[in-house]
Amino acid sequence: MPRPRPRALLALSTALVCALTAAPAAAYADSGHGRGHHHDRDHGFGSVRFATFNASLNRSAQGELVEDLSGPGDEQAQAAAEVIQRARPDVLLVNEFDYDERGRAAELFQRNYLSLPQDGAEPIRYRYRYTAPSNTGVATGLDLNNDGKAVTEPGTPGYGDDAYGFGMFPGQYGMVVYSRYPIDREAARTFQTFRWADMPGNMLPTDPATGEPFYSEEERKVLRLSSKSHWDVPVRIGRGRPVHLLASHPTPPGFDGPEERNVARNHDENRFFADYVSPRRSRYIYDDAGRRGGLHPGAKFVIAGDLNADPEDGDGHPRATRQLLQARRVQGHLTPASEGAPQAAATQGGANAEHIGDPAYDTADFGDVPGPGNLRVDYVLPSRGLPVRETGVFWPAEGRPGAAAAAQASDHRLVWLDVRRFR
């Protein structure tokens, strides 16, 4: 669940995986049935469905998610699994899924929830999984929120604010990729340790009271850009080149002060993948293995995740996601919609009545009084050249199949994109 909001702002959907060092990523293969013929039956002949879902499968203490998923009776996990079963993505990024080094939680969610029918929905089996550490809940030993003390004891007040990414323990709010198609683990890239200061023209914050940098020189030398991590996960679809799933979960633009450090960080975290897919702007980038540069100019990709920024409304920087939507190599004009989102906005009122954006495009059901109201913060953005068939948000109208599960599982809704298979 999100932290209480001290002021109107975007979704909390913070954080990601963990580890004090950039531990190696892990890709897992299930022993269950893989792709089979589900693709054609579920999405029409020759389609592949990509999706992102902030499933709120986070817990308040380390190990609790593994414990909750060890049996099939957790109601919130049942609801999240039902949403996935009804949407039936082939390649799925799950945000806010607590990380554990062995990948036990991801395995248990497949075995005890996705592989079992939920409220009449058909089970879904993913043969491949991928997860990796991130900065969430990893102590820095520094006073990053400038409250006069550096908190290093997990779970204590102030610990999350002084970590590389907000989290009360390493791994809280992690993420995982499930796929029916093979994941090229050896070619995957992670950017957990990339330093914010190494991004040219960055928005590192300034203290408005003094005009001086908000972070000390010592802090700027070590502060990482990703509040969680950025991943490039190649998925092999057909016999040709892979589709790169570019996964992230930027910090929400709030929980800060007049310096707006999280607004700035959210902007630059979103900018990272806009630069990564732009050959002339990606030369500064390096990954956790030391390899430099961005994505190959001819590569196909899908940018996915809870990006914690709406292009029209909310408290984020106005260009946070527009820089992705307007990127030359991105099909940003394709806007997924649903029937349930405008119904919810009209019923709930509050901040929704003041929004500029079309409520049909909302992907998250946030607090309405005082705000920020429902927003579009979850994205599945295809590269130019990918043959898109259809896109949408799994937000059924009230009373429709899956509507209750979607509301119970998370304050976010699953967003999906169908791409025609290619060789």
The confidence band for 45, taking pLDDT boundaries of 50, 70 and 90, is low
Instruction: Report d(CA 117, CA 231) in Å as an integer.
Output: 31
What is the pLDDT at residue 22? 38
Region 359-382: mean pLDDT is 97
Residues 6+ apart with CB under 8 A from 210: none
Rounded Cα distance, 231 and 188, in Å: 7
Mean pLDDT across the chain: 91
Higher pLDDT, 2 or 279: 279
Which residue segment(s) compose the domain that 270 sits in? Answer: 26-420
Name 245's Cβ contacts closer than 8 Å, sequence gap at least 6: 50, 91, 93, 177, 231, 232, 233, 234, 235, 301, 302, 304
What is the predicted pLDDT for the residue at 9? 35
Q: Name residue 375's amino acid.
A: L
Per residue in 297-333, pLDDT (tens digit) is 999 999 999 999 999 999 999 999 999 999 999 999 9
Return the structure tokens found at 111.
């075995």
Is residue 266 a part of any domain in this protein? Answer: yes
* Cα maximum dimension of the chain: 62
Q: How far is CA 234 from the centre of its chain?
A: 17
In a domain, 78, yes or no: yes
All residues at 6 or more sequence positions from 4 whose CB lies less than 8 Å from its CB, including other chains: none
* Residue 207 belongs to a domain: yes
Tokens linked to 284:
């500064």
Question: Is residue 341 assigned to a domain?
Answer: yes
Helix locations, 122-239, DSSP H: 159-162, 217-222
Q: To which residue do tokens 């902007």 refer? A: 267
Which pTM was predicted?
Answer: 0.91
The Cα–Cα gap between 239 and 91 comes to 17
Query: What is the reported pLDDT for 44?
Result: 63
What's the pLDDT at 27? 56
Counted domains in the chain: 1
Asked if residue 5 is part of any domain, the answer here is no
Does 131 reside within a domain? yes
Q: Is residue 11 part of a domain?
A: no
Whether 6 is covered by a domain: the verdict is no
Q: What is the CATH number of the domain that holds 240?
A: 3.60.10.10
- Give the amino acid at 194: F
pLDDT tens sequence across 141-197: 999 999 999 999 999 999 999 999 999 999 999 999 999 999 999 999 999 999 999
Q: Give the pLDDT confidence score for residue 1 in this predicted structure.
A: 37
| pLDDT above 60: residue 353 | yes
User: Mean pLDDT across the stretch 132-137?
Assistant: 96
**Positive/negative CA dihedral, 391, 9, 57, 179:** positive
**Comparison of pLDDT for 276 and 25, the residue scoring more:** 276
Cα 331 from Cα 323, distance rounded (Å)? 12
Given a cut of 50, whether residue 90 has pLDDT beyond it is yes
Cα dihedral angle (219, 222, 223, 228), rounded to 10 degrees? -150
Question: What pLDDT, in 10s, does the model give residues 205-244?
Answer: 999 999 999 999 999 999 999 999 999 999 999 887 899 9
Model confidence over 384-423: pLDDT tens digits?
Answer: 999 999 999 999 999 999 999 999 999 999 999 999 987 6
